[in-house]
Amino acid sequence: MYEARHQRPLSRPDFVRRLGWHAVLALLIVAVSLGIGVLGYHGFERLPFIDAFLNAAMILGGMGPVNLPLTAAGKIFAALYALYSGIVFLATATLLAAPFLHRLLHRFHWNEKL
């Protein structure tokens, strides 16, 4: 997926294309994760979809829930979803930063002899 150390860095248009694909993948991960949260809150806590969306978005964004869970199943779901959301946050941030970090490191080392 990325160019090897001995290859020249990508051209600017190709790099922008790579950034676009990473952004699309990050948005897809966030959308799927948000969908999981909405369905979980709607199913376990019987929240209306708009409230389930609000809770899922707040947890996914790191702010915490708006409505505290009342059922045992809802509490377990909320705890697992919060842990999952932390991992998604780190993975998405890494996915968005990877092209920049790779390009920076590649520019320092692309012309070195192995």
In a domain, 100, yes or no: yes
Closest CA to 41 of 49, 33, 30: 49
In a domain, 13, yes or no: no
pLDDT (tens digit, 9 = 90+) per residue, 16-59?
A: 999 999 999 999 999 999 999 999 999 999 999 999 999 999 99
Confidence of residue 114 (pLDDT cuts 50, 70, 90): low
| Residue 66: CATH number of its domain | 1.10.287.70
**pLDDT at position 72, please?**
96
Mean pLDDT of 8-13: 81
**pLDDT at position 33, please?**
97
In a domain, 92, yes or no: yes
Other beta carbons less than 10 A from residue 5's beta carbon: 12
For the chain, what is the radius of gyration of the CA atoms?
Answer: 19
In a domain, 114, yes or no: no
Global pTM reads: 0.83
In a domain, 40, yes or no: yes
**Count of domains observed in the chain:** 1
Looking up tokens 């998405």 gives 92
CA angle 93, 95, 98 (to 5 degrees): 105
In a domain, 81, yes or no: yes
Residue range(s) defining the domain that contains residue 73: 30-109
Other beta carbons less than 10 A from residue 98's beta carbon: 15
